[in-house]
């Protein structure tokens, strides 16, 4: 009787465990996460540079000389890596760049939470009315990081530009 219970418990895990191997899962995740990064980057690019600097400064973690540089390049990195992931161009490097960003953002949120830095809105999406607390950002970023696993494990998919290359 216990073997019947064990197999019924394991069956749902096996079903979900094989889901990441389906090609459409990687495509869906590419589009979702790529879209989030494009949206996030463009929402900051639409702001005046001084406002983006203020969004970065609120974290009180980076030295002053690095704040302006980060505010200048981060939105472009988000848009570029998000676009590459979305269209499936250099998918693995794009996913790796996004994973590095997500790890860095997660570390930043842990530092903010540990230091008790009061932040009501992370500024991840500029001033578009999508305020998130550091804890919400941390959870979202860690979920996206886990969701990237099927993208790394995928084979080439017909819906990505990588499928059209000979490499």
Give per-residue pLDDT as tens, 24-57: 888 899 999 999 999 999 999 999 999 999 999 9
Q: Write the DSSP assignment of 79-146 as a string of letters.
A: HHHHHHHHHTSSHHHHHHHHHHHHHHHHHHHHHHHHHT---S---TTTTSS----HHHHHHHHHHHHH
Q: Are 94 and 85 in contact (CB under 8 A)?
A: yes
Per residue in 107-150, pLDDT tens? 999 999 999 999 888 888 887 777 888 999 999 999 999 999 88
**Residues counted in the chain:** 167
Q: Are 41 and 75 in contact (CB under 8 A)?
A: yes
pTM for the full model? 0.83
């Amino acid at each position: 009787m216990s073997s019947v219970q064990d197999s019924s418990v394991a069956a749902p895990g096996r079903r979900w465990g094989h889901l990441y191997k389906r090609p459409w899962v990687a495509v869906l995740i590419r589009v979702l996460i790529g879209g989030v990064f494009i949206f996030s980057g463009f929402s900051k690019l639409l702001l005046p540079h001084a406002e983006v600097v203020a969004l970065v400064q609120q974290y009180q973690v980076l030295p002053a000389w690095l704040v302006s540089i980060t505010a200048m390049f981060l939105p472009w990195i988000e848009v570029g890596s998000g676009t590459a992931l979305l269209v499936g161009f250099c998918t693995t490097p794009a996913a790796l760049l996004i994973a590095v960003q997500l790890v860095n953002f997660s570390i930043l949120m842990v530092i903010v939470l540990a230091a008790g830095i009061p932040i009501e809105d992370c500024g991840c999406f500029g001033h578009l009315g999508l305020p998130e607390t550091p804890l919400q950002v941390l959870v979202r970023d860690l979920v996206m990081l886990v969701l990237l696993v099927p993208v790394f494990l995928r084979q080439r998919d017909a819906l990505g530009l990588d499928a059209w290359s000979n490499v």
